[in-house]
Amino acid sequence: MRKIRAVIRREFVERVRSKWFWVSAILGPLFFAAIIIIPLHFAAAGGTKAIVVVDGTTSGFGARVADSLARGKTFMIVARSAPRAGLLDSLTREVGLNRLDGLLILADRTVETGAAEYRAANVSSFRDIDELRGVLGRLAVNARLERAGVDPATVGRAQLRIDLRTKKISGSATTSFRDIDELRGVLGRLAVNARLERAGVDPVTVGRAQIRIDLETKKISGSATTGESSAQSFWLAYVMSIVLFIVIAVYGVNVMSSVLEEKTTRIVEVLVSSLRPFELMLGKVVGVGAVSIFQFAIWGLGGRLVLSQRAALIGNVAPADVGQEAAFQLPPVPATTVAVFLGYFLGGFFLYSAMFAAVGAMSSSEQEARQAQQPVVFLLMIAYLSVFALANDPGSPYAVALSLVPFTSPIAMPVRWAAGSVSVSELVMSLALLGVGIGSRSRHRSPCPCAGRRAV
Q: What pLDDT, in 10s, does the model give residues 97-118? A: 888 889 999 998 888 888 999 9
Give the domain-ending residue among 186, 210, 226: 226
Closest Cα partner for 418 from 247, 216, 230, 223? 230
Domain that holds residue 95: 49-150+201-226
Residue 46 has pLDDT above 60, yes or no: no
Does one domain contain both 92 and 212? Answer: yes
221-267 pLDDT per residue, tens? 777 777 676 777 778 888 888 888 988 888 888 888 877 777 776 66
Does one domain contain both 30 and 114? Answer: no
Does one domain contain both 356 and 435? Answer: yes
Does one domain contain both 214 and 340? Answer: no
Instruction: Tell me, yes or no, if the pTM score tops 0.95.
Output: no
Does one domain contain both 321 and 293? Answer: yes
Q: What band does 73 get if pLDDT is binned at 50, 70 and 90?
A: confident
Does one domain contain both 269 and 355? Answer: yes
Does one domain contain both 11 and 56? Answer: no
pLDDT of residue 5: 73
Mean per-residue pLDDT, 170-198: 73
402-414 pLDDT per residue, tens? 999 999 999 999 9
Please give the backbone phi and psi of residue 73, each rounded to the nearest 5 degrees, phi first: -105, -5
The residue ranking higher by pLDDT, 253 or 316, is: 253
Q: What band does 268 get if pLDDT is binned at 50, 70 and 90?
A: low
Does one domain contain both 309 and 394? Answer: yes
* 212 found inside a domain: yes
pLDDT of residue 145: 81
322-358 pLDDT per residue, tens? 444 445 556 667 788 888 988 998 899 889 888 888 8
* 171 found inside a domain: no
Q: What band does 321 get if pLDDT is binned at 50, 70 and 90?
A: very low
Q: Residue 344 CB: number of other CB atoms within 10 A? A: 26
Mean per-residue pLDDT, 38-43: 62
* 186 found inside a domain: no
Does one domain contain both 335 and 217? Answer: no
| CA pair distance 129, 127, nearest whole angstrom | 6
* 420 found inside a domain: yes
Overall domain count for the chain: 2
| CA pair distance 234, 391, nearest whole angstrom | 7
pLDDT of residue 410: 92
Q: Helices H, strands E: what count in the chain?
A: 20, 6
Does one domain contain both 282 and 401? Answer: yes
The residue ranking higher by pLDDT, 57 or 181, is: 57
What percentage of residues in the chain have a pLDDT greater than 70?
A: 76
| CATH assignment at residue 79 | 3.40.190
DSSP alpha helix (H) spans, 148-276 = 152-158, 177-198, 203-209, 230-264, 267-271
| CA pair distance 456, 437, nearest whole angstrom | 13
Residues 221 and 387: beta-carbon distance below 8 Å = no
Give the domain-ending residue among 209, 226, 243: 226
* 449 found inside a domain: no
* 173 found inside a domain: no
Does one domain contain both 295 and 413? Answer: yes
Closest Cα partner for 141 from 59, 223, 207? 207
Does one domain contain both 73 and 141? Answer: yes
* 167 found inside a domain: no
pLDDT of residue 103: 92
| CA pair distance 373, 49, nearest whole angstrom | 40
pLDDT of residue 199: 77
* 170 found inside a domain: no
Give the domain-ending residue among 191, 226, 261: 226
Q: What band does 445 get if pLDDT is binned at 50, 70 and 90?
A: very low
